[in-house]
Amino acid sequence: MDDKQLEITHHDPLLYNEDLAPIKHSDRSWGWFEIFNVWSNDIQSLFGYTLAASLFLSYGLNGWAVMAAIVLAGVIVMVLVNLTGKPSVKYGIPFPVMIRSSMGVRGANFPALLRAIIGIFWYGVQTYFASTAVTLLLTALWGAGDSQYLGLSGTAWLSFVIVWLFQIMLFWQGIDKIKIFLNWAGPLVYVVMLALMAIVWYQAGDQLLPAVATIFDGGGDYQGSDLAAFTAIVGTMVAYFAAVVINFGDFTRFVRSEREMKIGNLVGLPLNVAFFSFIALIITAGTLVLFGEALTNPADIVERVDSLPLTIIAALTFFAATVGINLVANFIPPAYDLANLFPRAISFRIGGLITAVVAFFVGALWVSVISQIGIPGFVNALGAIVAPFYGIIVVDYYLVKRQQLNMQQLFSRDPEGAYFYQNGWNKKALTAFGLAALFSIATVWVPALADLNGYGWLIGAALGGLFYYWLASRSRG
């Protein structure tokens, strides 16, 4: 698309600021490596490793079968993000502007606000998890101390504040500095994980490979069939990536071409997930051979290996990767979403500051309060509610709008405008969302549908698209 077609000559100040405006192709600097590192930081956080390792233990499947399920999830997510990323590569717009075409110029605030709430909550939680890596480092150097406040030691509080401030300073430098940080953090974690795998493999010796093949058979407390276990693992991993799937355009707007995006997604998802899962599989099996129990938290493994140089290097890289996923999944999206609510008052940076301030209290209260009272279940429910928007976005762009958007109209409140619909809201999209969200939320809250919980996100997204297409085609017919 010609850069001139991306120029906004007339815009409504209630819908426009420089951060929401289309980025011209000539101003973009991201290639496949940057997209690869969006995913590598997403996968290689402390939480991502613990999730992958725990899947090997929870379902009673052979380790290789679990790995195959995780890789299949990577392929599915790759297909999903290629669809949501493409419009923003073409037009250079972030998620909250993109969704104006289907929800309406005012209606777009609804999904953007939901996405912002989810992002802010998990930003606080991940800030706490990133701080545990710094706590590991500081404890190794001078000890933890005995005093406790709200469930955290003095060292843990210092670590939390350090991480919180570091993320704000990095964010304030702008998207180019964030790109550089992600490009360093992703590969560094691989170096440390490979070193850890080599140490565990060397110490476990010839007992390790037989353990990989057999040690997970018959374990776990999953009651369903092998096929049900396999599909549950696939669904769990897809749901793990779901936060980035919907608003992937927040990143692809910086990419030079669709081809670069697709290469980055291929290398960053199925191939990256396969390699990282292999590392997690080997290390998890090795810990069982070495320590008599399977350890899924990298911090616990490093502590048991008992090497100060490894502890220091591992703590720094785990910190970097967890900060990386936090910026990708939980900081940049809410910053755009909040800017979309009040473009005249909230810029991308101000949106980021609001995110950080609210998230500080979430992270600070995580251990003593929030993790104890079931709020994560509430936020998971919000995640399930958001799923239908994926189907609505994809169906609207590819089947209803035929991949053609009017940039001027996306920033206009003209009652005759293409995306004004009914007073700025598309009631058909709202109806489709409501019908599909009833199902996706039920998979979280209704015990009888608990078995669908893992892939409730996928079904909710599919229903959102189907209902929207049916309602939209009726009006055309």
User: What pLDDT band is residue 424 in, cutting at 50, 70 and 90?
Assistant: very high
Q: What 3-state class would DSSP assign to 421?
A: coil
More confident residue, 108 or 444: 108
* CB atoms near residue 345 (< 10 Å): 10
H helices, E strands: number in the chain: 21, 2
Q: What 3-state class would DSSP assign to 30?
A: strand
Any domain includes 375: yes
Q: Write down the residue that tokens 């609505």 correspond to.
A: 392
Q: What is the pLDDT of residue 125?
A: 86
Any domain includes 129: yes
Any domain includes 397: yes
d(CA 122, CA 115): 11
Q: What is the pLDDT of residue 376?
A: 54
Measured in residues, the chain has a length of: 477
Q: What is the pLDDT of residue 235?
A: 83
What would the pLDDT profile of 398-407 be if each residue is shown by its tens digit? Answer: 999 999 999 9
Q: What is the pLDDT of residue 222?
A: 61
Q: What 3-state class would DSSP assign to 221?
A: coil
Number of domains in the chain: 1
d(CA 118, CA 338): 12
| Residue 368 near residue 148 (C-beta atoms within 8 A) | no
Per the prediction, the chain carries an average pLDDT of 85
What would the pLDDT profile of 234-264 be if each residue is shown by its tens digit? Answer: 888 888 888 789 989 999 999 999 999 999 9
Any domain includes 9: no
pLDDT of 220 higher than 60: no
Any domain includes 2: no
d(CA 451, CA 230): 13
Q: What is the pLDDT of residue 327?
A: 84
What are the backbone angles phi and psi of residue 152, rounded to the nearest 5°? Answer: -120, 140
Listed residue (474, 124, 172, 194) closest to 348, CA to CA: 172
What would the pLDDT profile of 325-356 be if each residue is shown by its tens digit? Answer: 788 888 889 999 999 999 989 998 999 999 99
Q: What is the pLDDT of residue 206?
A: 85
d(CA 42, CA 333): 14
User: What pLDDT band is residue 10 in, cutting at 50, 70 and 90?
Assistant: confident
pLDDT of 231 higher than 90: no
The H or E element spanning position 77 is helix 63-91
User: What pLDDT band is residue 195 in, cutting at 50, 70 and 90?
Assistant: confident
pLDDT of 5 higher than 80: no
Any domain includes 17: no
Tokens of 367: 């251990």
Share of the chain above pLDDT 90, in %: 39
Q: What is the pLDDT of residue 461?
A: 93
- Give me the helix-helix angle, 272-291 and 175-204, nearest 10°: 40
Maximal CA-CA distance, the chain: 72
Q: Write down the residue that tokens 């609207």 correspond to.
A: 396
Q: Which amino acid is at 263?
A: I
Q: Write down the residue that tokens 């109806």 correspond to.
A: 431
Average pLDDT value for residue range 107-128: 90
User: What pLDDT band is residue 375 in, cutting at 50, 70 and 90?
Assistant: low
d(CA 215, CA 195): 23
Listed residue (440, 434, 445) closest to 471, CA to CA: 434
pLDDT of 99 higher than 90: yes
Any domain includes 19: no
d(CA 237, CA 51): 9
* Residues 8, 9, 13, 18, CA torsion sign: positive
Q: What is the pLDDT of residue 223?
A: 64
Average pLDDT value for residue range 370-390: 74
pLDDT of 477 higher than 50: no
| Residue 167 near residue 327 (C-beta atoms within 8 A) | yes
Q: What is the CATH number of the domain that holds 41?
A: 1.10.4160.10
d(CA 412, CA 390): 24
Distance of CA 105 to the CA centre of its chain: 25
d(CA 377, CA 99): 26
Tell me the residue range of the domain where 455 lies.
25-476
137: left (phi over 0), alpha (psi -120 to 50) or beta: alpha
What would the pLDDT profile of 144-191 be if each residue is shown by its tens digit? Answer: 666 778 888 888 899 999 999 999 998 888 888 888 888 888 788 788
Query: Exposed, middle or buried, 192 (CB in 10 Å: 0-12/13-18/19+)?
Result: buried
Q: What is the pLDDT of residue 464?
A: 96
User: What pLDDT band is residue 284 in, cutting at 50, 70 and 90?
Assistant: confident
What would the pLDDT profile of 12-60 be if each residue is shown by its tens digit? Answer: 888 989 899 999 999 999 999 999 988 988 877 777 777 888 887 777 7
Instruction: Give Cβ neighbours of residue 402 (< 8 Å, ≥ 6 apart).
Output: none
Q: What is the pLDDT of residue 155?
A: 87
Any domain includes 312: yes
What would the pLDDT profile of 127-155 be if each residue is shown by its tens digit? Answer: 988 888 888 888 877 766 667 788 888 88
